[in-house]
Amino acid sequence: MLIDDETFTRLALEHGIELSDPSSPDADIALLVPGWPAANEYKVKVFPTRLTPSALRNVLGRNSPGPPTRLLLVVPSASKAFIDGARRDGVSVMIRPPDGRTPARSGYLIGDGGRILALESAPEPDAQPTRRPGPVPWSTFAVAFECSESGPRTQTQIAHKLGISQGGVSKAMHNISATRLTNVLTTFPKGAAQGDRNVEKDQLARLHNRHSPARVETLLNWLAASYPRSPRATTTWLTRENPNDTARSASALLAQRGIRHAVSGQVAADKLAPWARPQRALIWAEKLTDMSEASATPVPAQDANLILAVPEDPHLLRTIDDEQQPPILPPVRVWLDLIRDGDDQAADALKAHLLKWRSA
């Protein structure tokens, strides 16, 4: 369960809460609450299932940030016992209903000096928790993206590009092979000597034959069905500029503040495979920030032409080309964002471009 597009916009419109830049590396967001003397910084942790009071202790043990940063938990529901325990430990809670549509407005924020802002409804009665799912295999998805976005590579090359170990790449290959995509992900044999250029050259020729458009399309379909594309947190804004100019202005502001980021969605797709005039700009960034200096105003998602999103995927912003201005996500990741946003025709145009490039 992840924070939806309207969460922080609703906080701004209904409670007057404004975003500010956090100073601590532990913090994801800083919030200016009316009546509070200074911004409070929060590390945000989102959980897809209900947490028990006993599970709270484990969460605090793994995730408690150092001062001045506080912990903000986003959960689909919460019992009174859980709320009471979290409040005693100084932990803020947002309740995000499990229907996937209702914005996270329930819960409370705790600030400096014991200040508490109630956001909305009371907690629900105690109930049996559902089983917690396992961790998302981000490294496996990162390797799949790399194999879909580039030609054949050695496991060492992929590991270096993604910043993970060669063993992690090998494990990811095994995980994806278990989904019957064995022939899509092909690398050099482990027995090939690192300096044996003849072996590498011969193997590379065979690998190019196996990375055909049909096999790449199979991998793209698997990513579309399996990759969790919802953001960790988002804010939605409106500017007077067109989306292309908005993306450039927002990118310049983020770069000025030293925030790693990349443009995706319609604006990026228009640069990669022009199809239709973009209607909104999507920017992935390592943290949220106030975009008012880019002449942006917080608005509900349906009125926005700028979306600033923080990814759950730790590999997403490691794949960008920093020399490009503004920086743009790799094409396959842009394609998935188009699908997530319901831009099916733009997604189809970009997919055709990707497969045509593969067949060239």
pLDDT digits (tens, 9 = 90+) for 16-72: 788 778 888 888 888 888 888 889 998 888 887 777 777 888 888 888 888 889 999
Length of the chain (residues): 360
Given a contact cutoff of 8 angstroms between Cβ atoms, the answer to whether 279 and 338 are in contact is: no
Cβ neighbours of residue 118 closer than 8 Å, sequence gap 6 or more: 108
Mean pLDDT of 314-338: 85
- Distance between CA 41 and CA 163 in Å, rounded? 29
Q: Write the DSSP assignment of 232-249 as a string of letters.
A: SEEEEEE-SS-HHHHHHH
Listed as own residue / partner, the contacts of 101-106 with beta carbons closer than 8 Å and 24 or more positions apart are 101/4, 103/4, 103/6, 103/7, 103/10, 104/3, 104/4, 104/7, 104/74, 105/7, 105/10, 105/11, 105/14
pLDDT at 337 over 70: yes
Name beta bridge partners: 237: 298, 306
pLDDT at 336 over 80: yes
pLDDT at 83 over 90: no
- Distance between CA 3 and CA 201 in Å, rounded? 47
Sort strands 306-310 and 233-238 into parallel, antiparallel or unpaired.
antiparallel
pTM over 0.85: no
pLDDT in tens, 236-291: 999 999 999 999 999 999 999 999 999 999 999 988 888 778 989 999 999 989 99
* DSSP code of residue 91: -
User: Hey, which bits of the chain come out as E strands?
Assistant: 18-20, 29-32, 40-46, 70-75, 92-95, 106-110, 116-118, 233-238, 261-264, 281-285, 297-298, 306-310
- Distance between CA 210 and CA 222 in Å, rounded? 17
Which segment of 155-169, 240-254, 306-320, 338-352 scores lowest on mean pLDDT? 155-169
3-state helix, strand, coil in the chain (%, to 5): 40, 15, 40
Q: Write the DSSP assignment of 185-232 as a string of letters.
A: S----TTS-TT-HHHHHHHHHHHHHHS-HHHHHHHHHHHHHH-----S
Region of residue 216 (left: phi > 0; alpha: psi -120 to 50; beta: else): alpha
